[in-house]
Structure 1
Amino acid sequence: MATSSEAVISRLPDQAEARHASLQDATSVYDLLTIGMARRGQYAMLSECLERAMKFSFNEFHLWHQLGLSLMAAGKGVGAVSVFKECARMRPEDPSLPLLAAKVCIGQLHWFDEAEALSQTVVCMGEEAGEFLPRAYLSLGLSCSLQASEATLKADRNEFNKKALQALSKAHSLDPQDAEIAMYLALELALVRQVSAAMEPLQAALSLRSDDLHALHLLTLLLSAQKHHRHALDTLGLALSQHPDNFNLLFTKVKLEEALLGPAVALQTCEDMLQHWQSRYDVSQVSPGGRKPSIHLTLPDFQDTSTGSLSPPSVAVSRLEAALSEVSDISSTRRQGPTYIWATLERIWLQAGELFMADGRLKEAQFCIAEASSLFPNSHSVLLQRGRLAELRGHLDEAKNLYDEALAIHPTGERILGRLLVNTGRVHLGEKILRDAVQVHSTSHEAWSGLGEALQSRGSSQAPDCFLTALELEASCPIRPFTIIPREL
């Protein structure tokens, strides 16, 4: 192997042979470096090393390809897409390169229009794309489906969904033995509320891969959309037996248990989720001062009576205040580690808060919301739930202000604010907000029902049509939105 003193990077024509030998030696070193670093997951460092090699790697496909893969693995999506595009320029006949770039656009960057364009380049290859052609149609279908979910205009959403169905149907016809394609075709049919039609490709997917997490979850949601909640819960039990650590499944379990068995049973599952979260992420590490941070991972129960001079309501208040003081002490300790860990914990607390509100236990709900708020004080989900709690307590002005804050951060919850405005006599403003809500969330039966109530309150003849639409949508509404199934390559 050549030493560094023998390396030749001159671009002069008479040095071509020596330069080629030096490049081969350097490539061998980088390949060994890639093997060693990849085994240790050191993709960021690997990508930095490969980037330094680019200055003498003009049109050297292998090193560019390695750089693209390392950037992709390191989560550097923008750089990875640029590199894969450069690779595709070097080898325009290779269909895998645009699809790799499309994968990054969908999974890391959410550049869905860019992913659509990249997928289309492979589709245009036709039969020359070979075994990559069904995957190109899958990528195209997912890109359009995701754009449909983001579209704010109904006409755009319908057009994207139409293109998604066409692409996914084509992918399925080209490769009926691909379980992933069949599952995503079923998901797209579910998203456009063709619930019965979605069962056929989903059964095909499960016959090919019976333990697939997303296929089992989708089957659960489809059964719940058909109001077969018991069968849905049984199916979910099967999925959890194979994927017991999946929080997405557990949130669906909570919703099904609430519908079938009531909030009290579902709260027990929330309690289990809190303990499961703690055991998985092991956040109760000893702090530098030698004391373990006191993280509340037990749902409150302020209903039991206590001995002493305090009455039960006073006990509830004193316990809540004591708990919240501890929460404020450790809020800085909690936020160590990846954000998604804490986002999951926030969702568990908010889910428990919803159940307590459904059970009429507002003190316990306040505790759970405070726990979530200590993690992400300005989260739109926290603000929405604080608004809901204020509304249940009759503090309508406070509720409206909280809903307004939540909508300023993230455009969800319009139907809640619209209904509140209608109920407090501000019918015209509530109606406007609800009309916007049904445009953005055209399959939300709550939004259509709220709009019907607004129109009915001012004697409009359009109210029955809204109520009818709400009934039709509710008949095919899953226990949780179909969009909770990830769409990624």
Structure 2
Amino acid sequence: MSTPFDTFLRLPDQTDARQASLQDATSVYDLLTIGMARRGQYAMLSECLERAMKFSFNEFHLWHQLGLSLMAAGKGVGAVSVFKECARMRPEDPSLPLLAAKICIGQLQGFEEAEALAKTVVSKGEEAGEFLPRAYLALGLSYSLQASDASLKANRNEFNRKALQALSKAHSLDPHDAQIAMYLGLQLALVRQVSAAMEPLQAALNLREDDVHSLHLLALLLSAQKHHRHALDTLSLALSQHPDNFNLLFTKVKLEEALFGAAAALQTCEEMLQQWQSRYDISRSSPGGRKPSIHLTLPDFQDASTASLSPSSVAVSRLEAAISEVSDMSSMRRQGPTYIWTTLERIWLQAGELFMADGRLKEAQFCISEASALFPNSHSVLLQRGRLAELRGQLDEAKSLYDEALAIHPTGERILGRLLVRSGRVHLGEKVLRDAVQVHSTSHEAWSGLGEALQSRSSSQAPDCFLTALELEASCPIRPFTIIPREL
């Protein structure tokens, strides 16, 4: 509904008065922005600023404030649209397309749009000034992320080539930008130029020695060179500075498993569960405190088939107790952000994987049940359920679970392919594995599986596949390089 103030602002002969009123209104909104931003009330702030837009045609300052508030509130689509409008008002400002590109990369996974936005700044050349290296960084990241998503090898190789070219240009324009240097090292690592990646990464660490992503990448590069002890030392240094970083802790688990075995790595999983509970346990903040705090711990019973001294009744009672805890957790799952619960799911699945590696299948079943209670249709849960069924010799059930997981998310083809080969369906398994090496061309497991399939029918191509697998395994990190976030 139009107000007398709105009508006043639209009168053509009231230009001076309109400007004065608009200035007053802008001052009020600036004060509102300061107050709400300090309290993190970005969603409410963006709603207030949206109402101001009806009398803010071509008023850059209010549009820019709206874009920033939408960005902070996680409303990426609206923020990109607003920053594009800001760029129309001030086409000479290179920061505006880069803000939109940042959102496209970090929130929306709109990598093609981020590429187009970065190119508008790159095309300005020297006129972009200090923003030119950042524009090349945005361009390189958009290419790198498109390469990770590409299903065809030729497209992936081309995107990787363009990414390396853009990031090298960014580094040459600003060799003192630690983030650019780190991402150049990451891109070299992604194309398995492990030794070459060390040089820009060292430059990044010289500029910012406590950067978590640089330290994490260094640990992964050391693990790719099979220096697992040095990698774990580097990771311990990173964790001393970033003790709450779960991404680092998952890598620590993998390194401990490689160095000391599954039992030692399980201790870290136990610590991760307790750390998750101390940070995120939603039950503690329940209204009135009526719900008891959920007790998260790894199972300590043993499968009867392993000749454990623990009686089977202990295992049964433990599982029954767990069902009650899982039921409570499931009822509270919606009370917090999704990433909290996906982190817990990953911890349980990691523990389940370690139990399977240690031959303790009942404990693995317990962990998978905990993860399944959180996200029953997660492709990661289905893959691990399939792996457990496979270890128990239930091959038909395993294939059904792998098929279901692949229908949700296109990963795990190499697991399904190897299962098909082992169960006698060699030609179908070979086809699945050929698709896998196209999508995951640096997976030594996929190449090894394809070699096994070809060897089973005496193909002359089998040795080449095994050789490729050996070469890739020699530069394979303990976890994929893609776990390092690529964002502006």
Cα offsets for 1:212-259 (capped at 9, x unmatched)? 000000000000000000000000010000001100000000000000
Aligned to 2:73: 74
Q: Tell me how far apart the structure 1 counterparts of residues 391 and 150 of structure 2 sit (CA, whole Å).
A: 33
Aligned to 2:413: 414
Aligned runs of 1:436-455 on 2, under 5 Å?
A: 436-455=435-454
Q: Tell me how far apart the structure 1 counterparts of residues 288 and 21 of structure 2 sit (CA, whole Å).
A: 56
* Cα pair distance change 1:326/1:87, threshold 3 Å: closer
Root mean square deviation of aligned Cα? 1.8
Q: Tell me how far apart the structure 1 counterparts of residues 233 and 256 of structure 2 sit (CA, whole Å).
A: 11
* Cα pair distance change 1:261/1:411, threshold 3 Å: same
Q: CA deviation at 1:291?
A: 4.8
Aligned to 1:134: 133
Structure 1 SS opposite 2:330: helix
Aligned runs of 1:67-216 on 2, under 5 Å?
A: 67-216=66-215
Q: Tell me how far apart the structure 2 counterparts of residues 55 and 241 of structure 1 sit (CA, whole Å).
A: 51
Q: CA deviation at 1:288?
A: 6.1
Which amino acid in the other structure matches residue 214 of structure 2? A
Q: Tell me how far apart the structure 2 counterparts of residues 365 and 213 of structure 1 sit (CA, whole Å).
A: 31
Q: Tell me how far apart the structure 1 counterparts of residues 282 and 66 of structure 2 sit (CA, whole Å).
A: 35
Aligned runs of 1:86-485 on 2, under 5 Å?
A: 86-285=85-284, 291-293=290-292, 295-303=294-302, 312-485=311-484
* Cα pair distance change 1:296/1:366, threshold 3 Å: farther
Q: Tell me how far apart the structure 1 counterparts of residues 301 and 412 of structure 2 sit (CA, whole Å).
A: 30
Q: CA deviation at 1:282?
A: 3.2
Q: Tell me how far apart the structure 1 counterparts of residues 463 and 181 of structure 2 sit (CA, whole Å).
A: 38
Q: Tell me whether 41-50 or 179-188 shows the greater mean CA deviation.
A: 41-50
Q: Is the Cα contact below 8 Å between 2:349 and 2:368 reproduced in 1?
A: yes
Which amino acid in the other structure matches residue 459 of structure 1? S
Q: CA deviation at 1:294?
A: 5.7
Q: CA deviation at 1:459?
A: 1.1
Cα offsets for 1:449-482 (capped at 9, x unmatched)? 0011111111111111111110010000000000
Cα offsets for 1:397-428 (capped at 9, x unmatched)? 11111111111111111100010000000011
Q: Tell me how far apart the structure 2 counterparts of residues 286 and 26 of structure 1 sit (CA, whole Å).
A: 39
Which amino acid in the other structure matches residue 456 of structure 2? S
Cα offsets for 1:28-61 (capped at 9, x unmatched)? 1111111111111111111111111111111111
Cα offsets for 1:147-199 (capped at 9, x unmatched)? 10001111111111111000000000000000000000000000000000000
* Cα pair distance change 1:134/1:54, threshold 3 Å: same
Q: Tell me whether 268-277 or 24-33 shows the greater mean CA deviation.
A: 24-33
TM-score, normalised to structure 1, is 0.95
TM-score, normalised to structure 2, is 0.96
Q: Tell me how far apart the structure 2 counterparts of residues 6 and 435 of structure 1 sit (CA, whole Å).
A: 68
Aligned runs of 1:44-59 on 2, under 5 Å?
A: 44-59=43-58
* Cα pair distance change 1:291/1:50, threshold 3 Å: closer
Q: Tell me how far apart the structure 2 counterparts of residues 163 and 373 of structure 1 sit (CA, whole Å).
A: 40
Q: CA deviation at 1:323?
A: 2.3
Q: Is the Cα contact below 8 Å between 2:141 and 2:163 reproduced in 1?
A: yes
- Structure 1: gaps (5+ residues): none
* Cα pair distance change 1:57/1:267, threshold 3 Å: same
Q: CA deviation at 1:371?
A: 0.6
* Cα pair distance change 1:357/1:311, threshold 3 Å: closer
Which amino acid in the other structure matches residue 168 of structure 1? L
Structure 2 SS opposite 1:428: helix
* 2:23 is the counterpart of 1:27: no
Q: Tell me how far apart the structure 2 counterparts of residues 263 and 6 of structure 1 sit (CA, whole Å).
A: 70
Q: Is the Cα contact below 8 Å between 1:7 and 1:19 reproduced in 2?
A: no
Q: Tell me how far apart the structure 2 counterparts of residues 424 and 78 of structure 1 sit (CA, whole Å).
A: 48
- Structure 2: gaps (5+ residues): none
Q: CA deviation at 1:10?
A: 3.9
* Cα pair distance change 1:257/1:124, threshold 3 Å: same
Q: Is the Cα contact below 8 Å between 2:178 and 2:205 reproduced in 1?
A: yes
Cα offsets for 1:78-102 (capped at 9, x unmatched)? 1110110011011100000000000
Q: CA deviation at 1:331?
A: 1.9
Q: CA deviation at 1:24?
A: 1.0
Q: Is the Cα contact below 8 Å between 1:287 and 1:293 reproduced in 2?
A: no
* Cα pair distance change 1:43/1:329, threshold 3 Å: closer
Q: Is the Cα contact below 8 Å between 2:140 and 2:166 reproduced in 1?
A: yes
Q: Tell me how far apart the structure 2 counterparts of residues 453 and 304 of structure 1 sit (CA, whole Å).
A: 32
Which amino acid in the other structure matches residue 42 of structure 2? Y
Q: Tell me how far apart the structure 2 counterparts of residues 42 and 9 of structure 1 sit (CA, whole Å).
A: 31
Q: Tell me how far apart the structure 1 counterparts of residues 203 and 274 of structure 2 sit (CA, whole Å).
A: 36
Cα offsets for 1:273-323 (capped at 9, x unmatched)? 001111111334275686544634111111399xxxx97234323432442
Which amino acid in the other structure matches residue 19 of structure 1? R
Q: Is the Cα contact below 8 Å between 2:104 and 2:110 reproduced in 1?
A: yes
Q: CA deviation at 1:337?
A: 0.6
Percent identity, aligned pairs only, is 88
Q: Tell me how far apart the structure 2 counterparts of residues 82 and 367 of structure 1 sit (CA, whole Å).
A: 47
Q: Tell me how far apart the structure 2 counterparts of residues 265 and 231 of structure 1 sit (CA, whole Å).
A: 17
